[in-house]
Structure 1
Amino acid sequence: MASKKNGSKSASGFDSWRQATSGSTTSNQRNKARKTRRMPAVLQRHIATLVLLACLCVVCVWGFTPLSERITQGLDIRGGVSVILTAAKPDGSTPTGDEMSTATTIVQNRVNSLGASEATVQKQGSNSILVQIPGATDADSAVQTIGKTGKLEFVRLDEIGDADALARLGSKDASNIQLKPGTYKAFMDGSSITSTSVAQAGQSATGAYAVNVKLNSDAAKTFAKVTRELAPTNGRIAIVLDGVIKSSPAVQEEIGGGQVSITGGFTAEEARSLKTILDSGSLPVTLTYSESRVVGPTLGQDSLTQGVVAIAAGAAIVIIYLFVFYQGLGLLTMGSLGIFALLYLGLLALLSHFGAYSLTLPGLAAVVLTTGSAADSSILVLERFREEIRMGRTVRQASMSGVKHGIATSLDADAVTLVTAIALFAVAVGSVKGFGLTLMLGVACDLVTMFCFKAPALRLLAASIEKHPRFWGVRGDMEEGERARHGQPSKGGVAHA
């Protein structure tokens, strides 16, 4: 009985030891499993980031292909007319923001009525409007239509106090006579017009055109009343546009129905221009053009070709440099530059689609500048990665801490560039403003490339870099790091006590 009891106790003790050992083993296995699960989660996150980035790049390629059609070209590349209009109020004061917004909208409507394809109208500063019309060749003709105030007035001739103008109105068909400000009072203006049309003047033997206007009901009653008063004496009504008498027909009878014909010996083009002005309404300010520029398409395309050649030559030099000095790691930098270029072009195409961007020669210079900056930031990250290895850290550790510190330094440089770009975009006008916008977009694409490609790609490649240091160009760095871990001086260095 005693033997059985002892055997039972012995078996019980062994079971307890086995359970304790088994529990400890299970606990260790669980800890290892947690660690195993934790590492793949990080790797999976990096892989998912790269997959999403690849999908975004595919969308970008689809968005900017074909390149010449998807990215709007500025006038200095495509050719056309660029005009800067300066606004002022009649009393010489600076227009308000609302008045400038109204003027910009009216000018935009006039440009659209001209049938100009992809024309842009932008408010510049506090009192300027930039108008760009691709393909146009005559700046003066464009300004005559889009820059006129367009204030139409109907004035009784017997209420005009300008003696010089009245003397010149001796001819029945006299037109284009300037009236002195304050010498007349209109009984009706262009705000009463509901529709306009162009037609050949009925009694003109020269083939001249007229602009027929339709008045609203209240204005039609006013016009009928005035013509009824003037008909017995064959009085005349002066049709005045921006202070200039366009025509002054005699009234034979009361004119009802609100139909009025504006004549003045207009050609078909002049009549259509007047119709455009009347349809868009009168400007709340007076516009004068302070700068105009006409660029031929041949000159612009030659400049674009030279810019593309410069970019290609620069890219070739960078590729050679990367292969010579960084070997396999140079492929990573080349890949980051490729991703950067796809994102950059896709973003420019997206903004062009919504009419918010056009590529100019200064913008092309900004593209070259930001591409060089992107290459510089990639090299900065690689150098910090290699420096961490030389300090004794493993490749995997260097891919974490080195990339982190390298990106932090690149962020400082990009922040300075971004502040400069924002300042140019906010303060400058014209092509300089476009340079600032292009520079700003390039910095944004570089930031996306750093966080979504450079960092995850280098961390995923850490194992391969450690196995094949010669191919990746870090063999010497790893040897120096090994000496640093063992307290040995670096190659060519001196040991210290």
Structure 2
Amino acid sequence: MVAPKKGKNASAPSRPGRSLALILIAIVALTGGMFASGHTTPRLGIDLAGGTSITLRAVPEAGQESAINKTNMDTAVDIMERRVNGLGVSEAEVQTQGDRNIIVNIPKGTNSEEARQQVGTTAKLYFRPVVATELSGANATGSPSPSATGNPSDKATDKATDKATDGQDKATDEGGASSTPSDSASASATGQGRAASDALKADPSPSAKPSDGASPSPSGSAAGDAKLQQQYAALDCTKAADRAKAGDGSKPGDSMVACGQNSQGQWQKYVLGPASVDGTDIDKSEAVLNTQTGAGWTVTMKFTDNGGKKFADITGKLAKNQSPQNQFAIVLDNEVVSDPYVSQALTGGSAEISGNFDQEEAQGLANMLSYGALPLTFKEDSVTTVTAALGGEQLKAGLIAGAIGLVLVVLYLLIYYRGLSFIAVTSLLVSAGLTYVIMSLLGPTIGFALNLPAVCGAIVAIGITADSFIVYFERVRDEIREGRTLRPAVERAWPRARRTILVSDFVSFLAAAVLFIVTVGKVQGFAFTLGLTTLLDVVVVFLFTKPLLTLMARRKFFASGHKWSGLDPKSLGAKPPLRRSRRTSRPAGPVDPKEA
């Protein structure tokens, strides 16, 4: 007798050991990575760890009340969110409140102070030519500024070195502060503590500033404005009140006075010409460690097509001037954050600012250049320190509720499924362990932080995971009721249970994905955790629950249908085992047909 061939629908022999070994390897690898990274606990959000909450209010400029609209507010939220994320502040929440307020929540333990300073710096960013500058409230001494350069090269560096000597001699002959080549390579003072050194690919000659304490007079078109001269003479940048008023009321097309702080912490005052390049003309800015030329940390800028043309035009004009009028000031919130100088037109749509930057200074300047141009002006209304006490109490209450729910689920499994509850509880523990390890790893990887809604999502996932076990167990029990033994029942029940589990988890994941996309703030934490645990449910059921039940079905306790196994055929009301009916032999002789 020839055995029938197996068709396509015939199930392949089950190999549960492979699946269990695979998930065991994954657990060990993830756990090892967690301990190796040093992040053995999930990062906590602002409601659990505490932090700072900043309220910013949009302030309309003269005649621009209509500018405060939903589009501009959403744009401002996006820029502020990129600002704080650019500083490495994870789980910072930036969202609108009402028509003109923005709330920024910065968790504790991050660069919250620096983020507060940059988020609060809300005015537009402009590039303005420097007309005159000097130290405020002190005798001015010559010091070179950071250089802006186009394409770095060794040849350009040598040329810059040659020009340095000529520029220094020229500055000395004109009565300015003299400096030696070594001075030019080390000394500097620029905006907001950014030190400057010899220029790469640009004229590094120091600014010729008087050393007798006399204020230089603005020159050019700005010099004809008597009011501007008076403002410049009276400006004392060492006084906070004067700094706050500097540049008030000035428009992009007007000349203005401004203040900036150098690397020694001294305030410097400026006369600046009309804005030549807008912050929106910068497409991208990055802090780069330049190891080829030994320049250290530099800031690269890439302009838009229109911005590149404007930048090439202004640098070409400035390069023809003597120091300090060959400098351009980067002005943010009416304050000079940097004042690099040039010796040639910088074409090609990109440039580089070099100086004695450290990594933090370079990244701070690059962040301002990238995200400095907000469509609205904001005022800081309030700054509140958020403690973790309230969130800790809510977390404690949530964990107690989750523990109660988990205990009830386990009791139900023990009473109803008896021996099968061992498989269910073990699967729940594996799912919980994977969730904890992955959340711990996601903190340093993508900045995920656990907040109260995320904890709620994890608690809801208990029900989703338990539901998958129940679906599979009931399918197996249905097969036993039909009269099949346990091992074939486990294999026959799996295809139908698998479809049901996949459809159920897909619906849950789809709901979590939609919720994550259409919501903001803390609700996204709930949606993210729900989606993550739903995916883990599929992994655990396929790689752990089903293989473990296949192995247990080979044990006598389960295979014999012990009354405490949860698979007792008698208690389930099973039908008698299916049996084939014996064939009846036909008589050898002919049979007379019966008449109808």
Matched with 2:470 is 379
* Alignment partner of 1:199 out of 264, 279, 302: 264
1:151 — aligned with what? 125
User: What is the deviation of 1:305?
Assistant: 3.2
Counterpart of 1:198 in structure 2: which amino acid?
S
Question: What is aligned with 1:390?
Answer: 481
1:364 to 448, 455, 463: 455
Alignment-mate amino acid for residue 373 of structure 2: P
Residue 71 of structure 1 is aligned with which of 42, 50, 60?
42
Q: Which residue of 2 aligns with 1:176?
A: 244
- Within 5 A, what are the aligned runs for 1:302-321? 302-321=393-412
Note closer, same or farther for the CA distance 1:341–1:202 as it changes in structure 2 (3 Å cut).
closer
Q: Provide the C-alpha distance between the structure 1 equivalents of 2:469 and 2:320, rounded to a whole number of angstroms.
A: 75
CA 49–188 in structure 1, closer or farther in 2 if over 3 Å, else same: farther
TM-score, L = length of structure 1: 0.64
Structure 2 partner of 1:46: 16
**Matches of 1:132 and 1:167, distance apart in 2:** 42
Alignment partner, residue 107 of structure 2: 134
Q: What are the equivalent positions in structure 2 for 1:323-362 lying under 5 Å apart?
A: 323-362=414-453
Amino acid at match of 1:145: Q
Unaligned runs of 5+ in 2: 132-217, 237-241, 270-298, 300-313, 344-359, 580-596
1:108-132 CA distance string (max 9 Å, x none): 44x35xxxxx54558879x999865
Is this contact kept in 2: 1:151–1:189, CA < 8 A? no
Q: How does 1:11-26 map to 2 (within 5 A)?
A: none
**Offset of residue 75 of structure 1:** 1.1
* Matching residue's letter, 2:27: C
- Which has a greater percent of helix? 1
Q: Deviation string for 1:440-479 (max 9, x for gaps)?
A: 0010000111111222222222232222422312224576
Between the aligned partners of 2:43 and 2:536, the Cα distance in structure 1 is 19
Q: What is the CA-CA distance between 1:432 and the residue it aligns to?
A: 0.8
Spell out, residue by residue over 1:340-359, the C-alpha distance to the aligned partner (whole angstroms, 9 max, x if none): 11222222223223134111
Q: CA RMSD in A?
A: 5.2
Q: Partners in 2 of 1:198 and 1:185 — Cα distance? A: 28
* Pair 1:291–1:317, CA change in 2 (3 A): farther
Report what 1:415 is aligned to: 506
Tell me, yes or no, if structure 1 residue 59 matches structure 2 residue 33.
no
Displacement after TM superposition at 1:480 (Å): 2.1
Query: Would the alpha carbon gap of residues 169 and 382 (structure 1) be closer, same or farther in structure 2, given more than 3 Å must change?
Result: same
Q: Which runs of 5+ in 1 are unaligned?
A: 1-23, 113-117, 205-213, 229-236, 248-254, 259-271, 487-497
Q: Which residue of 2 aligns with 1:280?
A: 368
Quickly say closer, same or farther: Cα 1:160–1:430, change in 2 above 3 A.
Answer: farther
8 Å contact kept, 2:475–2:493 = yes
Separation (CA, whole Å) in 2 of partners of 1:60 and 1:240 = 46
1:310 to 1:53, Cα distance in 2 relative to 1, 3 A: same
The structure whose Rg is larger is 1
Helix, strand or coil for the counterpart of 2:52?
Answer: strand
Q: Look up the SS of the partner of 1:305 in the other structure.
A: helix
**1:467 pairs with 2:557:** no
Residue of structure 1 in register with 2:206 after alignment:
none
Letter in 1 for 2:372: L
Aligned residue in 2 for 1:185: 254
What whole-Å deviation, never above 9, does each CA across 1:68-110 have from its counterpart, x for those lacking one? 744211111111125587999998384699999877555444x
Contact 2:40 2:440 in 1 (8 A): no
How many residues are matched?
Answer: 406
In 2, Cα distance between equivalents of 1:199 and 1:461:
74
Contact 2:42 2:449 in 1 (8 A): yes
